[in-house]
Amino acid sequence: MRFTIGLLCLLILHSCQVNEQDKAQKGHQLSSRIDSLLLNSDFNGVITLAKDTTVIYSKAMGFSDMETKTPIDVEDQFVIGSISKQITAILILSASEKGKLQLEDTIDQYLKDIDQDWTKTITIHQLLTHTHGIQGLDEPLAFKPGSQFQYSQLGYELLAQILEVVSNKTFEALSMELFKTYDLGNSSPPQSKQFDKLVKGYEEQENGELAYATNSLANYAAAGSFISNARDLIRWNYLLHSNQLVAPQTLALMKTRYATREHPIFDSVEYGYGLLFKKGENNIQIGALGYAPGFVSASYYYPQSQLNLVVLENTAKHLPDFRKTFEISIKLMDEVKGTGHGVIKQE
């Protein structure tokens, strides 16, 4: 009996050692594939891959300022585009958990200054899911609320205004409180002006040259102009998907697929609250892409391997063909998605 138990222990130990070696090998192979993708590319930005918050791969390439040829750094800050929407969604969901609002409330209860009858029919949920039909504050709706999907930046700005009403605080103050609470010190709305490491964003012109984009922060903060860096976005993903930002049942609402969009990159995409899912994929990759003038970004979580991938670029090329603009991000996402289980430690 003792011999049998001892043999079993040896077999388990050997199995664990083989498993660890396999995981380390997968990590090395994935890092090598990422390096190969970047080898002949003109990538300009930061890539970080982590298991939870333990960094497996991190690289900065190119310049933060093309004019001065200042090398980019992994700690540099970027405008994160529509990744901002999940931050706004978390603020709304947190307010809902505290009883300050309900997701099925109509927006007329909070936005008293909009003199339109449609405020009595549109809900907070519909603002979160781009199914409200608002074209402009002085225009009729494009469709009956809840009947269609129409991607909207304005809808998320209205969510920010609702948050200000229920909290008696500015959206800037609310978001900064969130970042401070969760040790996200490199993240801020543009109004705070706390971004001394913000790189300059560049757009490719018709002649192929890159020009500094002066309107990178022109979008509504709640919809697309939050500023962050790779380290904070890795931590954000970890906090979000480990139920540390909202309760599990609330996160489940955020990850529910409410509407479908024909996407310029992914074909058909399903939307939750600030998160998107490629149609036909079940629990494989969850996150968002982001675009702001001069900035291209991707932030994704992979449930099967607990990997977090963040890609931040400060050059936007091949516009308006977004498939080419986001080409490196998509290739990197495919590599991480194909890894599946197993990468758990830094090389």
pTM beyond 0.95: no
Place of tokens 């190119």: 62
Q: How far apart are CA 57 and CA 339, in angstroms?
A: 14
Instruction: Give the mean model confidence (pLDDT) for residues 299-317.
Output: 97
**pLDDT score, position 346:** 39
Place of tokens 């890092």: 31
Q: How far apart are CA 213 and CA 202, in angstroms?
A: 5
What residues does each domain of the chain span?
34-339
Identify the residue with better confidence: 246 or 8.
246
pLDDT digits (tens, 9 = 90+) for 107-140: 999 999 999 999 999 999 999 999 999 999 999 9
Helices 154-167 and 171-181 cross at an angle (nearest 10°) of 80
The pLDDT of residue 227 is above 50? yes
CB-based contacts of 132, cutoff 8 Å, min separation 6:
122, 123, 126, 141, 145, 152, 155
pLDDT digits (tens, 9 = 90+) for 10-64: 666 655 555 445 555 555 789 999 999 999 899 999 999 999 999 999 999 999 9
Instruction: Give the mean model confidence (pLDDT) for residues 103-108.
Output: 98
> Which CATH superfamily groups domain 34-339?
DD-peptidase/beta-lactamase superfamily (3.40.710.10)
Instruction: Give the mean model confidence (pLDDT) for residues 303-317.
Output: 96
CA neighbours closer than 13 Å in the CB half-sphere of residue 321: 7
**pLDDT score, position 13:** 62
Instruction: Give the mean model confidence (pLDDT) for residues 85-99.
Output: 98
pLDDT digits (tens, 9 = 90+) for 166-188: 999 999 999 999 999 999 999 99
**pLDDT score, position 26:** 59
Distance of CA 191 to the CA centre of its chain: 20
Task: Give percent above pLDDT 70 in the chain.
Answer: 90
Task: Give percent above pLDDT 90 in the chain.
Answer: 82
Rounded to the nearest 5°, which phi and psi values hold at 331? -65, -40
**pLDDT score, position 310:** 98
pLDDT digits (tens, 9 = 90+) for 260-296: 988 888 888 999 999 999 888 878 999 999 999 999 9
Q: How far apart are CA 102 and CA 93, in angstroms?
A: 9
